[in-house]
């Protein structure tokens, strides 16, 4: 059975280190749309080598930038990846079989996270994310930093795994956590956050246990412990910065 054409969509900024693996996993798609935020490294040269349709625009924010890239796609079915992600070898046949007779308007795919110096143990639970969807039924939401597509229709899980080449060391991870938590605080500026002190006390240990035990990161040795602990630190920073700003700004 034939399937409908797919537009692979990627946004970039100085992603030469990981982009080749990303695009190599997408070459079977009918179209690759790459929206670049004026990279100064070899990002666009690499993309050109894969025949991607390259557009350059200033960065407008995580969600708006991805939506702009999606809007430039030719086909209705969108396969959305970040430049530091790539499909696993068995993802393509799973996607093609599914789209030959689609059961849904969007599909969550399992994402396996790089843990500092290793890939996770096979029994570690992946993060399921909506990455394959009909453009006519889906749009990026307005969530800051962690913007994601949302679909007006049926969404199901599809076992078509992809990999995320995350931070290579603790310093890079902590820097990202610091930037992202500040971005969330800036988004909430002037808005009241309910029970922020209670969240500050309770959510960080919950975030640690959810990863370390719930998603079985304990199977990954020290790498799993580091990942769970830094996730808990991220949860702490989010609410600590909100509480700090509230103490300095009574309006909040």
Q: Which two tokens stand for residue 131?
A: 């990455």
Evaluate if residue 191 carries a pLDDT over 80: no
Mean pLDDT of the chain: 93
Q: State the pLDDT confidence band at 15, using cuts at 50, 70 and 90.
A: very high
Q: State the pLDDT confidence band at 192, using cuts at 50, 70 and 90.
A: low
Look at 51-60, 90-99, 180-189, 240-249 and tell me which has the smallest mean pLDDT: 180-189
Residues 135-171: tens digit of each pLDDT? 999 999 988 778 899 999 999 999 999 999 988 999 9
Residues 199-208: tens digit of each pLDDT? 999 999 999 9
d(CA 132, CA 78): 6
| The domain defined by 6-164 carries CATH number 3.30.70.600 | no
pTM of the model: 0.89
Looking at residue 104, what is its pLDDT? 98
Is the Cβ–Cβ distance between 75 and 31 less than 8 Å?
Answer: yes
Is the Cβ–Cβ distance between 90 and 68 less than 8 Å?
Answer: no
Q: State the pLDDT confidence band at 233, using cuts at 50, 70 and 90.
A: very high
d(CA 36, CA 198): 41
Q: State the pLDDT confidence band at 252, using cuts at 50, 70 and 90.
A: very low
Is the Cβ–Cβ distance between 164 and 111 less than 8 Å?
Answer: yes
Residues 35-90: tens digit of each pLDDT? 999 999 999 999 999 999 999 999 998 899 999 999 999 999 999 999 999 999 99
**221-248 vs 196-209: helix crossing angle, rounded to 10:** 170
Q: State the pLDDT confidence band at 242, using cuts at 50, 70 and 90.
A: confident
Evaluate if residue 250 carries a pLDDT over 60: no
Evaluate if residue 248 carries a pLDDT over 80: no
d(CA 165, CA 116): 9
Residues 213-224: tens digit of each pLDDT? 999 999 999 999
Look at 36-40, 178-182, 248-252 and tell me which has the smallest mean pLDDT: 248-252
d(CA 62, CA 66): 6
Looking at residue 188, what is its pLDDT? 58
d(CA 28, CA 16): 21
Looking at residue 226, what is its pLDDT? 97
Looking at residue 181, what is its pLDDT? 87
Residues 97-129: tens digit of each pLDDT? 999 999 999 999 999 999 999 999 999 999 999
The domains of the chain are located at 6-164, 170-248
Q: Is 116 left (phi over 0), alpha (psi -120 to 50) or beta?
A: left
């Amino acid at each position: 059975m034939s399937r409908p054409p797919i537009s692979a969509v990627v946004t970039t900024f100085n992603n030469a280190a990981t982009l080749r693996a990303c695009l190599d996993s997408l070459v079977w798609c009918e179209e690759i749309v790459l929206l670049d935020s004026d990279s100064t490294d070899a990002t666009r040269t690499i993309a050109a080598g894969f025949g991607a349709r390259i557009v350059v625009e200033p960065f407008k924010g995580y969600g708006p930038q991805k939506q702009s890239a999606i809007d430039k796609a030719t086909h209705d079915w969108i396969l959305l990846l970040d430049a530091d992600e790539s499909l696993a070898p068995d993802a393509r046949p799973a996607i093609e079989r599914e789209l030959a007779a689609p059961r849904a308007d969007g599909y969550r795919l399992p994402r396996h996270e790089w843990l500092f110096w290793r890939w996770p143990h096979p029994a570690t639970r992946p993060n399921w994310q909506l990455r394959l969807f009909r453009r006519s039924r889906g749009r990026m939401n307005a969530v800051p930093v962690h913007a994601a597509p949302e679909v007006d229709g049926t969404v199901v899980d599809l076992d078509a795994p992809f990999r995320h080449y995350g931070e290579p060391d603790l310093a890079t991870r902590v820097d990202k956590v610091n930037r992202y938590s500040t971005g969330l605080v800036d988004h909430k500026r002037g808005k009241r956050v309910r029970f922020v002190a209670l969240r500050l006390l309770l959510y960080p240990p919950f975030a640690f246990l959810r990863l370390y035990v719930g998603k079985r990161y304990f199977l990954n040795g020290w790498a799993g412990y580091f990942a769970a602990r830094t996730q808990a630190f991220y949860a702490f920073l989010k609410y600590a910065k909100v509480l700090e700003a509230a103490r300095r700004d009574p309006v909040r």
